[in-house]
Amino acid sequence: MSTQSLIYLFVGLSFALYIGIAVLSRARSTGDFYVAGGHVHPVVNGMATAADWMSAASFLSMAGIIAFSGYDGSVYLMGWTGGFVLLALLLAPYLRKFGQFTVPDFIGARYYSKAARVVAVVCLIIISFTYIAGQMRGVGIVFARFLDVSVDLGVIFGMAIVFVYAVLGGMKGITYTQVAQYCVLIFAYLVPAFFISFLATGNPLPQIGLGSHLNDGSGLYALQKLDMVLQDLGFGAYTSGTKSTVDVFAITLALMVGTAGLPHVIVRFFTVPKASAARISAGWALVFIALLYTTAPAVGAFARLNFVQSVEEQAYPSSPEWFRNWEANDLIAWRDKNGDGKMQYRPGDAFEGTPIYTEEATGPSGERLLDNAATKNENEVYVDRDIMVLANPEIAKLPGWVIALVAAGGLAAALSTAAGLLLVISSAVSHDLLKKTFHPDVSERQELAAARLAATAAVLIAGYLGIYPPGWVAQVVAFAFGIAAATLFPAIFMGIFSKRMNREGAIAGMLVGLVFTIAYIGWFKLWNPAANVADNWLLGISPEGIGSIGMVLNFAVALSVSAFTRPVPADVQDLVEAIRIPRGAGAATGH
């Protein structure tokens, strides 16, 4: 069977599995739709949480970042992993003891204010739509290459699939679908990593293979060889960093606390029976996540080494098939600047922006011609970093079934997170705005219908953002983490651990954090991208890390305002005390 036929088979079977699970476990009540009835087993929830957490950014883009950034890419590993530990220890059990459906539920009740609930909903929607843009973009990239369609059409296909099982199944359908998606995505990530590590070093464990000698007769370690190859081409050493210590710290911190404030991850801990189960499921989720995160550095390093050795000084007419495959989808390109017919891969942009091809025109070597104005540096090769995990099996010449498996895994990763994000958006609209704020006498049936309508609208907006994303996948996701760090995390943290934090302080803090962080990111990424250089950054902190400053501002403003406004009512202080008391201590029920 051909590789393309295997891709259709694997992707088709995985989609049939997801939709079948959604139909069998479809939501029949608001409790099913929002929190899967609240009776999900901790291990099952841990696996579903891992799938929800390991998005297209983790599966597709993180190893791509590491492949091209080297040591600097470690901020994503440290931030995202450390943030999940923070969430598991400090927030998840207490939020589960609170016993509601959503993050705005907690903020609205804890800060005894409909206004606080509405501000939390606004923050949640902005975070979720920023995050989901990266997921839909990832779906489009996978469809574009493996189903031979445009990226835009791939996004539309992804919208249709998510619509079926997210809108129909709600959290109950999504939970069990995500268990299946985790199994698909982790198998798809590990199998090619094992293959490539074994072929390169003779050691099938990529975590060990990365530090092993290559079996090419050079006598060099894998990272040593990669450093030498890149430096010979004019790049910096792979194992050396270029980011400042301040920016590394800021990005890592923003990703950590942003993780702890992500609503689509937090809501997963509302689906288990009790607070102790929330902590257990968080532990299992960390185990399941670690399987991918400890493998990603090896995937990124081997991908970069294989890529460089495949294209450098390669005559275009005899270029490998994988290069032509990705070129056909506008995700890789070559421009012959010196006229020698060979691909020169050097530092710098090959041309302005992303590929803009001349319609059906080819050059003297058969390459697709570009309308983009050429840059003056020597680099002739453009590659979209989000393709590296997907292209890696092809570059390494692995069997067709491995390539098909990776295609199914990439779609599973992007779709699982997209579904979770759509659910928190629809829950925020139907439950927090409609039921709890503007129309409290709405029936359960009407609320469920509103949730599905909101999810439908969210799918359409998500698709648009996937077609016109403000950056590459992991970068867009990093912005979502920054906004979460600057808005929801401080409000949740102080809501649990400070009985003095009142509604005025929480509202002021969230608004200041939101406005500051969005303005900073928007200025450098949307309105004035030419100024996006370290010399112009506040305290040397990039837009990816500015959420850490937004968080500090949130804390400072919230504490200051609360000190000069009315104290927290006694019953709310009692609620805070009850949330923190362990089960069996006398006052708490562990609900």
CB 339 within 8 A of CB 243: no
Distance CA 306, CA 172 (A): 42
267 — pLDDT class (breaks 50, 70, 90): confident
In this structure, the number of other CB atoms found within 10 A of the CB of residue 84 comes to: 25
Tokens (6 digits) for 450: 């509103």
Res 171 pLDDT > 70: no
Query: How does residue 165 score in pLDDT terms, banded at 50, 70 and 90?
Result: low
> Per residue in 554-571, pLDDT tens?
999 999 999 999 999 998
The residue ranges of every structural domain in the chain are: 3-303+398-438+447-580, 309-395
Q: Give me the pLDDT at residue 585, please.
A: 46
Q: What is this structure's pTM?
A: 0.81
Question: What integer is the mean pLDDT of 184-206?
Answer: 91
> Does the pLDDT value for residue 194 go beyond 80?
yes
Mean pLDDT across 471-479: 60
Q: Give me the sign of the Cα torsion angle 202, 208, 212, 214.
A: positive
pLDDT for 589: 44
Does 85 score more than 60 pLDDT?
yes
**Of the spans 380-384, 410-414, 557-561, 570-574, which averages the highest pLDDT?**
557-561
- Predicted local confidence at residue 587, as pLDDT: 42
Q: Is the pLDDT of residue 223 over 80?
A: yes
Q: Specify the pLDDT at position 32.
A: 55
End-to-end CA distance of the chain: 54
Alpha-carbon distance of 319 to 343, in angstroms, equals 9
- Quick one: pLDDT at residue 174? 74
Q: What percent of the chain has pLDDT over 90?
A: 17
Helical spans, DSSP H, in 150-221: 151-162, 168-201, 206-209
**Torsion on CA atoms 157, 158, 161, 165, rounded to nearest 10:** -160
Round the average pLDDT of the chain to a whole number and report it. 82
Structure confidence at residue 588 as a pLDDT band (50, 70, 90)? very low
Answer CATH for 3-303+398-438+447-580 from 1.10.630.10, 1.20.1730.10, 3.40.50.620, 1.10.167.10: 1.20.1730.10
- Give me the pLDDT at residue 23, please: 72
Phi, psi of 214 (to 5 degrees): -75, 150
The alpha carbon of 487 is separated from its chain's Cα centroid by a whole number of angstroms, namely 18
Q: How confident is the model at residue 502 (pLDDT cuts 50, 70, 90)?
A: very high
Tell me, what's the pLDDT at 201? Answer: 92
The dihedral built from the CA positions of residue 309, 312, 313 and 315, taken in this order, carries a sign that is positive
Indicate whether 306 pLDDT > 80. Answer: yes
How far is 106 from 128, CA to CA, in rounded Å? 18
Structure tokens at 114: 């409909």
Sequence-ordered list of residues with C-beta below 8 angstroms from that of 63, at least 6 positions apart, any chain: 296, 297, 299, 300, 303, 388, 389
Query: What SS3 string covers 254-290?
Result: HHHHHHHCCHHHHHHHHCCCCHHHHHHHHHHHHHHHH
Calculate the alpha carbon distances from 398 to 147, 196, 291, 296, 395 in Å: 19, 8, 21, 18, 8
Reported as a pLDDT band with limits 50, 70 and 90, residue 225 is very high
Most confident listed range (75-79, 319-323, 458-462, 558-562):
558-562
Angle between helices 296-311 and 62-69 (to 10 degrees): 60
- In terms of pLDDT, which residue wins out, 398 or 272? 398
Check residue 151 and give its pLDDT.
Answer: 76
φ/ψ of residue 99, rounded to 5: 80, 35
Find, among 86, 91, 89, 88, the residue nearest to 103 by Cα: 91
Query: What is the average per-residue pLDDT within 179-197?
Result: 89
Average pLDDT over residues 131-135: 73
Mean pLDDT, range 576-583, rounded to an integer: 72
Q: Is the pLDDT at 313 greater than 70, yes or no? A: yes
Digit-coded pLDDT (tens) for 281-291? 888 888 898 89
Higher pLDDT, 313 or 209: 209
Mean pLDDT of 251-280: 79
What secondary structure letter does DSSP report for 237? P
What confidence score (pLDDT) does residue 36 get?
Answer: 52
Strand, coil or helix: what is 152? helix
Structure tokens belonging to residue 547? 């959420």
DSSP state of 90: I
Would you call 497 helix, strand, or coil by DSSP? Answer: helix
